[in-house]
Structure formats: C-alpha cells, structure tokens
Amino acid sequence: SKKPVRVAVTGAAGQIGYALLFRIASGEMLGKDQPVILQLLEIPDEKAQNALKGVIMELEDCAFPLLAGIEAHSDPMTAFKDTDFALLVGARPRGPGMERSDLLAANAQIFTVQGKALNAVASRNVKVLVVGNPANTNAYIAMKSAPDLPAKNFTAMLRLDHNRAASQIAAKTGKAVADIEKLAVWGNHSPTMYADYRYATIGGQSVKAMINDEQWNREVFLPTVGKRGAAIIAARGLSSAASAANAAIDHMRDWALGTNGKWVTMGIPSKGEYGIPAEVMFGYPVTTENGEYKIVEGLEIDAFSQECINKTLNELLEEQNGVKHLL
Ligand code: NAX
C-alpha cells in the first residue's frame, strides 16, 4: 500500500474545515488508495483550539481506513512540517468598521508568516492552495514569502467560480453539468472574475451557439456567477462552506491526479500569458498532468473579453500594490 502523505489544513475548526476534512480523510481528494496524515492548524485562542479538538474527536470516530494520523497545531512552523499539500483556508474576515486596507493588512500578516513557515519546513514539492480571502492576493503574499519554494507551487482557488459557472450553464441549456468542457474563468476570485464560455462545449456542440444570447451572458450569467457568494450569504446567513470545500477538493484532486485533457480553472502565478504581468496570481484555464498544470494557450481574446480581463486584473494589481510595502 502507498506511503501516507501529509496534508496541512489551516482554519481547520471553521465552517469550510468542517466540510473539507472528512472528505480528505475519506480519500476523495487524493484517491481511495492514498493514506493521509492531517496536520491541522488553528489560532492559539482557547475556543478555537477546543473546537479543533472536537473536530478531531469526530474524525477519529469516523474510523476512516485511509486516515493514518491527525495532529493539532497552533504554530505554522510545526503544522507545515514536511507537508506535501497545504490548504490555507483560515483567514481574517472583515469585521465591523474594518476598511478594505485593514483587511488586506491583517491578511498580509497571516500569509507572510505562513509563507515563511512553508518556506522553512514544508516538503520542497508542497502544493499550496489558498482559499482564505482575498484568496489571490493571499496566495501572492505566501508565494513572495517563500523564495526557496517554486513559485508555481502556490495557487489560489477559482474553482468555486468555475463550478458555479458550469452549474448556471447546465441550468440554462438543460444539459448535464458533467458534460460541459472547455469553460474558463479569468482573474480574481471576486465579483470581477470573468467566466468565459465562448470556447465551452457540451457533447462537442458550442455552448455559445446553443445559448445564442449575448445579453444573457452579460446581464444575467456574469452577475449571477459574480454575486453567487453574496446570494448564499443572504439566503443562509452564512457564507458558502460545503461548495467551497468541494471546490478545494476538486482543485487539489485535479492538480495531483490529472484532468485527462479537461480544462479546469486555477489561480496561478502568471508568467506573462495573455498579457497578464508576471507573478500576478490570476485565474486561468489549465489542464493538468503528472502533478503539473499547464495554461491553455492560444485562445483569442475579443474586445469584450479583454475589457473584462482588464477590470479583474486592475483590481488584483490594486490589491497587490496595497500590500507591497508589507512584504
Ligand atoms: P470561518 O470563520 O468559519 O473559519 C475560519 C477559521 O480560520 C476560524 O476557525 C479561525 O479561527 C481560523 N483562522 C483564522 N486565522 C487563522 C490563522 N492565522 N491560522 C489558522 N487558522 C486561522 O470561515 P470559513 O467559512 O471556513 O471561510 C474561510 C475563508 O474562506 C474565509 O476567508 C472566506 O472568505 C474564504 N472563502 C473563499 C472562497 C473561495 O472561493 N476562494 C469561497 C468560500 C469562502 O468565502
């Protein structure tokens, strides 16, 4: 049988953590033949550490055959020791009266510390996924704080946006969500993201031709996908958790195990593709194979798409500029 791999999860006692850990432990992320050791990080606060203990008791009570170990941590320097996969979920939420710049600064602090810890103690091949918001900028900060690790190993979660877009297209066309191929989401995980179905197909047929309604694209589809998180908060009184955990599982599984040519969306550091400045943590369509992702290149960017990409890029550049002095 396979040797266990180490999976670190931060914010492990939070909402997303509760929807995520049990699925990782049951083999849904890395395969039903891959044992895992969970290295769980929470803030030192007594309430958070107690809540983490409770989650660990429940994990134990599942008696998962693939769960080879569970550790509780309050320090990233121990939580990330030798870790092969790191899911950075915990982040500072915006509190009452908090300005956007305060939020960026508070998170910059967290992700600088965690990036340095990964740099110091994680496996040299660690695959990092940042979920905690602002996800792209937090991933950028962690990457910049870990100069000894390959930059390409740092990614941000755009997969929830990708899955939300797929589900809206399935509903509109009356087709199965599983049959949608070649969907792309560009940019920031925020309402400015650009979900792009110009190249998408279902059963080999063009989705754009099937829908044939540019007004729906611009006035219904894009706002619906962009504001989906807010709609869920309004309905549930809490932010997306199970769907966010599911997207994190999809992202890591596809990165580790490959997509067989299928396009998925990942937030990754640009190397200048599609005119995005180098190092910007940007949502791109990718395929994956042998643990590596590859950007889908050569797609034509029309005027409307360029406008959308510029908007989400400008937002990201503003976020990045807002934290530069802290790095
Ligand atoms: P919760 O507030 O339920 O849980 C967050 C947990 O993280 C808390 O238990 C907290 O104690 C812990 N935490 C905070 N700072 C930490 C640190 N420095 N080290 C370790 N743990 C820390 O939030 P939850 O609903 O689980 O959401 C977590 C994050 O995901 C938020 O930042 C949220 O905005 C973000 N999301 C990102 C999404 C994406 O698509 N990229 C979608 C869902 C979600 O909104």
Q: Inform me whether the pLDDT recorded for 254 exceeds 80.
A: yes
Angle between helices 15-25 and 242-257 (to 10 degrees): 40
**Residue 316 confidence (pLDDT) above 90:** yes
pTM of the model: 0.98
CB atoms within 10 A of CB 149: 21
CA of 133 to the centre of ligand 1 (A): 7
Report the alpha-carbon distance of residue 64 to residue 78 in Å, rounded. 24
Structure tokens that stand for 193 in this block:
């993201």
> What confidence tens digit (pLDDT) does each residue in 120-146 have?
999 999 999 999 999 999 999 999 999
Q: What is the pLDDT of residues 34-69, one digit of tens each?
A: 999 999 999 999 999 999 999 999 999 999 999 999
Report ipTM for this prediction.
0.98
- Percent of the chain, pLDDT > 70? 100
Instruction: Please state the φ and ψ torsions of residue 295, each to the nearest 5 degrees.
Output: -70, 135
- State yes or no: 290 annotated in a binding site: no
Average pLDDT over residues 199-214: 97
Q: Give, for ligand 1, the residue of 10, 75, 239, 265 to mutate: max count of ligand atoms closer than 8 Å to Cβ.
A: 239
Q: Taking all residues of the chain, what is their mean pLDDT, rounded to a whole number?
A: 97
Residue nearest to atom 10 of ligand 1 (CA): 11
pLDDT of residue 97: 82
Report CA(197)–ligand 1 centroid distance (Å). 30
16 is in an annotated binding site: yes
Neighbours of 325 (CB within 10 A): 8
Contacts of 186 (CB under 8 A, 6+ apart): 193, 194, 196, 274, 282, 283, 284, 305, 308, 309, 312
Q: Mean pLDDT over residues 217-221, rounded?
A: 98
Binding site annotation covers 6? no
Confidence label for 327 from pLDDT (cuts 50, 70 and 90): confident
For residue 239, how far is its CA from the centre of ligand 1 (angstroms)?
Answer: 10
